[in-house]
Structure 1
Amino acid sequence: RTALYPGLVALESDDRWIRDLQGVKVWARVEAQGLGKATVVDTDDLLFAKYGVSGFTILNLSARIVRHLREEGPLSLLVSLLPDKSAEEVGELLQTRWQRHPHRELGLSLAGLLHAKVARVLLARAGLEASALVAGVSKRQRRELAALITALPIRVTGPRNFDYAEVTIGGIRTDEIDPHTLQSYVAPGLYFAGEMVDVHGDLGGYNFQWAWSSGFVAGGQVATR
């Protein structure tokens, strides 16, 4: 069998600023960095928590990166808080807003674009005061803020443990099982189903369906012996 890992699970981070966003949920595009040529990306709900990040997008991503986290160490996630816009487009959007209301405070100027707590954290990370007026923001600072909005880095150190996982990743290798009967090639007469096998899917009922379908096939084979 293969090694076993928790799957569809929240990820832990040692970035201290995340604690300030505990309980905040946003719609985001998340991309995992440091995996070579592989592109691992998902867009869905992201939830900030005291231990790190969770939400549908993180759970789905976790299944693709948990092996790397356990075997090779931390990864960086890049989070876009406005998934349908590039950094350049966000910069132009900010410029337009700020030109209309040059005497508005920075924190208020982001209302409607970002959650208020998220806005405060991003401004702080960009070295800007939420109470400062938008008229005092330089072009460089605007670009830096736009870059954070579209590519906010989060360092994840590993998955939460099996107690918090939706599925188990790993198990009996699929090349050791007859795909039609789910009987073991190694130990004839032995059948496998569900999470015993190295098969997993995204959120959405796929893992339940695999458990039910594989159980039906394996059980039917045993009943006819």
Structure 2
Amino acid sequence: MSNHSLPDFDIEVDIDIDQAPTNNEDIHSSGSSLPDLHIPLPTRRKRWFFLSYSIFLVLYLVFVLVLAYTYPIKPACVIKHFKLPALDNKSPNITQQTNNSVYVAINFINRNPLISYSYDGLIDIAIDYYPLADPKPVSFVSTTTQGFYQHHRNRTKVEVHVVVPDLPRLLLKMKKESFSFFLVNLVFNVRFNCKVSCTRKEPLLMNPAIWYVYVVE
């Protein structure tokens, strides 16, 4: 076998690096050539969505109306005013009877949007005094007031002005304190007047107890 030597070839390739496309340019150029596609939601799916939403909204409104017409909320009671004229330095010209009395104003609140109240019979009000030096409560005064009818979404103020027989003796304790604790106990029957049919048809006996802190000036 004869050995033949291969000829030598000199190959020169001119490549302009600035004109060579980069990967980023390829991506941008290829991306810009793609059309902007918007896939529409199928018509059947749209119909089912709006139908489901409408059914849910109607059921929710029916549920709210049923609660508003048939499920009553209990009344709330808040003490608006509690005054002892004997400890009120701003009223010097008062009679002896007024001086030995207590004035209490209580707000009865009906929070129902469509249900009214009937407070049957009498409303019992009993006030106890809790001295700071003695944990045992002292019966302060008790009285009654006439029941009433209350419309829905209404706030009714009930006022009582009653003489406290043992007030002069209790004042000796109260004047030694910077503040005094009172507990106002209410007892009454409330009847719910619904537009259709109430879930509670019998009168409800309520006995709320409200604390009040009287600041002695």
Structure 1 length normalisation: TM-score? 0.28
Whichever of the two has the greater Rg, that structure is 2
Q: Which has the higher helix share?
A: 1
Higher relative contact order (CA 8 A, sep 6+): 1
Q: Which has the higher strand share?
A: 2
Structure 2 length normalisation: TM-score? 0.28
